[in-house]
């Protein structure tokens, strides 16, 4: 069994103890990782702080070149990284509609290349006989990155590539249940980057707390649950750290009465169930007009029953296991609560017996707002389908949530759908799509779904501060 070390100041670092990483398809440990602690965080921050002056002064073109080199290193090691992602997350190599570890690693490559090419040019506010005023974007210092377990490698790339591209140095902590692919990436990166620019400390929540509260870290970027985001925000207050928080979502999709259920249902199923529903911006509440309701429910249930669930390393698998047993039990709890309240379980609704954390793809009908399965983010292979009759009412119901990450409208009338989508209280709204993000378009939440945005120029700006320079001419 392979053991993965932390990387601090360009060197492998061991801790006094290690912990096991479980393959959710088998329920058994497949790798060991170092159990870092607060002292390792201090070492990593010191290394990043020492590396910052030289890295921040590195010519922009050279940092751009190195980011492209990191992308090339991921591509050169793509088969290995795909296998590691599948073993630690459970997601298939291919997956439902091509959403699997291949997409995760391929997306990491694409995001790194696109982000490398982003620029933040000096903006001239005034240039006349009196003065020239310029606005410069400057790196913040040391960035702390804390990543989740659902897309461990790709979200790590989302965090660290723009941070380093802007001239910051980084200390990162991956989720303790999915650290392996990220550690391997940092190993590859440290063969390219100067020592101390990118450091990784593995361990439990104490490591995350130490990063969030550390006085020498200037910014935290975190993707994960809203409660954890609030805790990070509190810990970060000591030195007024900058924050980018991409937090929980309970995304609503609204299907208008002019669509054909047989045509739309496969798309809806894909955006609700890819990665087993374990994506912040998955479709998690589906509102369907009463005229289509029964037909749409039947189509979704049929697709669910035909979906191939199994080990992600096996050919043809579309959905793998839930990533961890605790999350699987939470999904079961929500389904049991809905069943007890009179919901119809049209497919699935139970744990698959045997090894691993497999939960059958589940479509739930006859549910309503106020039920836990609708009001809470399931983050698993479950989709509640809710009936509606009035469009204004359903927009209000969709917006009646403390979350505001994404939302979608499904209709053949794209102009009408776009008008309705703009009424949704969420950071991103889609028409006839859901959850699709790209490296040049900003993505983030409103309400309790987060602070700040990622991706593109807007996301890159989050890793900088503004300095205004005024040069008098007389």
Q: Which of 440, 443, 465 is CA-nearest to residue 166?
A: 465
> How many angstroms separate the CA atoms of 462 and 333, rounded?
38
Q: Are 435 and 281 in contact (CB under 8 A)?
A: yes
Catalytic-labelled residue, pool 104, 280, 299, 425: 280
What contacts 359, CB < 8 A, 6 or more positions away? 276, 321, 322, 328, 331, 332, 348, 350, 351, 352, 380, 381, 382
Q: Is 246 a catalytic residue?
A: yes
> How many angstroms separate the CA atoms of 172 and 183, rounded?
10
Q: Is 426 a catalytic residue?
A: no
> How many angstroms separate the CA atoms of 324 and 16, rounded?
26
3-state secondary structure of 237: helix
- Residue whose token pair is 């030195």: 239
What tokens were used for 39?
């002292």
Angstrom distances, CA of residue 364 to CA of 27, 297, 379: 27, 8, 15
> How many angstroms separate the CA atoms of 41 and 38, rounded?
5
Q: What is the CA radius of gyration of the chain?
A: 23
Catalytic-labelled residue, pool 88, 104, 246, 454: 246
> How many angstroms separate the CA atoms of 186 and 430, rounded?
34
What tokens were used for 101?
């570890």
Q: Which residues are catalytic?
A: 246, 280
């Amino acid at each position: 069994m392979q053991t993965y070390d932390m990387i601090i100041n360009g060197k492998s670092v061991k801790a006094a103890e290690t912990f096991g990483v479980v393959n959710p398809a088998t329920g058994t440990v497949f790798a060991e990782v170092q159990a870092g602690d607060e002292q390792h965080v201090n070492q990593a921050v010191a290394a990043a702080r020492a590396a910052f002056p030289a890295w921040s002064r590195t010519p922009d073109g050279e940092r751009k070149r190195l980011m492209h080199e990191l992308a090339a290193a991921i591509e050169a090691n793509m088969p290995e990284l795909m296998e590691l992602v599948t073993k630690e997350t459970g997601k298939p190599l291919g997956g439902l509609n091509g959403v699997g570890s291949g997409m995760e690693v391929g997306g990491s490559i694409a995001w790194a290349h696109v982000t490398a090419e982003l620029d933040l040019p000096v903006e001239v506010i005034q240039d006349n006989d009196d003065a020239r005023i310029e606005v410069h974007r400057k790196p913040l210092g040391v960035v702390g990155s804390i990543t989740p377990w659902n897309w461990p490698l790709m979200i790590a790339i989302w965090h660290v590539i723009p941070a380093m591209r802007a001239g910051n140095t980084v200390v990162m902590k991956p989720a303790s249940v999915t650290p392996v692919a990220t550690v391997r990436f940092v190993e590859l990166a440290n063969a390219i980057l100067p020592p101390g620019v990118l450091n990784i400390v593995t361990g439990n929540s104490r490591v995350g707390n130490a990063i969030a509260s550390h006085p020498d870290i200037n910014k935290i970027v975190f993707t994960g649950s809203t409660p954890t985001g609030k805790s990070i925000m509190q810990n970060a207050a000591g030195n007024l750290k900058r924050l980018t928080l991409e937090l929980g979502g309970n995304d609503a999709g609204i299907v208008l009465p002019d669509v054909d259920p047989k045509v739309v249902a496969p798309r809806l199923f894909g955006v609700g169930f890819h990665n087993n529903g374990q994506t912040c911006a998955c479709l998690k509440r589906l509102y369907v007009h009463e005229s289509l309701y029964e037909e749409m429910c039947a189509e979704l249930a049929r697709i669910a029953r035909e979906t191939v669930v199994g080990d992600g390393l096996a050919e043809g698998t579309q959905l793998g296991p839930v990533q961890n047993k605790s999350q699987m039990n939470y999904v079961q709890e929500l389904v049991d609560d809905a069943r007890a309240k009179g919901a119809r379980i049209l497919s699935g609704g139970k744990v698959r017996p045997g090894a691993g954390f497999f939960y059958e793809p589940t479509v739930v009908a006859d549910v309503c707002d106020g039920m836990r399965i609708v009001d809470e983010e399931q983050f698993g292979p479950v989709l509640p389908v809710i009936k509606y009759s009035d469009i204004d009412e359903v927009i209000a119901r969709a917006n009646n949530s403390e979350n505001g990450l994404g939302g979608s409208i499904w209709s053949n009338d794209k102009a009408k759908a776009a008008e309705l989508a703009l009424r949704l209280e969420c950071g991103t709204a889609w028409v006839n799509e859901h959850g699709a993000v790209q490296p040049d378009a900003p993505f983030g939440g409103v309400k309790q779904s987060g602070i700040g945005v990622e991706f593109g120029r807007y996301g890159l700006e989050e890793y900088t501060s503004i300095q205004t320079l005024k040069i008098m001419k007389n």
